[in-house]
Amino acid sequence: MNTLVSVTSQKTNNAVIKWNLYYIIAIIAVCLIVNVSIRLDYYFLQGIPELSFTETLQGLALVCINLCFYKMIKAPNIGAGSLLVFGFFTALLIRECDFWFDKITHGFWFYPAMFTTLITLVLFSKRGKSGFTEFVNLLRVPAMNKVIVGVIVLIIFSRIFGTGSFWRDVVSQDAFVVKTIIQEGLELLCYCFITIGAWETQQQVNTLNNNECGAL
């Protein structure tokens, strides 16, 4: 049922609360894992080299992401869209493994990444109009919003936030200034995400309530 109702069963309420608790625990676990991995790299490896806890976890995360979308390629109505996203994240995985490809020659990762991209686009184009429809259907899945946000933060925010020239100026300052910039910058990013989520929630609630009124 796609409408908001004032009365729900206790079983349904418990299921919703339980799911949200699991979700909160998962997010807390992710935050802890990231912080622990960075500290392990700093204290034991004196930085974050290519073969580090953090880089390894990034690769494992991309493998998990690819497995999820790979399993959805044969799913009805979203298969072609899943294929397109799978190809995108496969290219990202190849980019993250540039350390190993550089053993062949520097920058060699570019060629398998481009090959993967071209193969994906060719297979997707063979689906024709149905491929585009299936991609749109995939974007309609609410959880895809989180994937999109993650990709934007990965490609845009992390690159701009990690600009070398900026941090060369910052590290010459007091350690408290560096800490404040990192903490406040991340807090602002989080508040922006929360604002978008609150707005989206409001829009979905309005839509559901309008549907309920229309059905009366």
What's the mean pLDDT in 24-38? 93
Residue 66 clears pLDDT 90, i.e. is over it: yes
Residue 200 clears pLDDT 90, i.e. is over it: no
Return the DSSP state at 141.
S
200: tokens are: 């989206």
Task: Return the residue matching tokens 């991609």.
Answer: 135
Q: What percentage of the chain reaches a pLDDT higher than 70?
A: 94
Identify the band that residue 168 occupies on the pLDDT scale cut at 50, 70 and 90. Answer: confident
Identify the band that residue 5 occupies on the pLDDT scale cut at 50, 70 and 90. Answer: low
> What local confidence, expressed as pLDDT, does residue 108 receive?
95
Calpha distance 96→66 (Å, rounded): 13
List the one residue out of 61, 62, 57 whose CA is nearest residue 38: 57
> What local confidence, expressed as pLDDT, does residue 55 receive?
92
> What local confidence, expressed as pLDDT, does residue 176 receive?
84
Identify the band that residue 214 occupies on the pLDDT scale cut at 50, 70 and 90. Answer: low
> What local confidence, expressed as pLDDT, does residue 167 receive?
86
* Distances 55 to 41, 110, 214 between C-alpha atoms, Å: 10, 19, 51
Identify the band that residue 174 occupies on the pLDDT scale cut at 50, 70 and 90. Answer: confident
What's the mean pLDDT in 104-128? 95
Identify the band that residue 215 occupies on the pLDDT scale cut at 50, 70 and 90. Answer: low
* pLDDT, tens digit, 9 for 90 and up, residues 128-152: 999 999 999 999 998 999 999 999 9
Number of continuous H segments (helices) and E segments (strands) in the chain: 10, 0
> What local confidence, expressed as pLDDT, does residue 6 receive?
57
Average pLDDT over the chain, rounded to whole? 88
Calpha distance 183→13 (Å, rounded): 36
Q: What is the DSSP string of 154-169?
A: IIIIHHHHT-HHHHHH
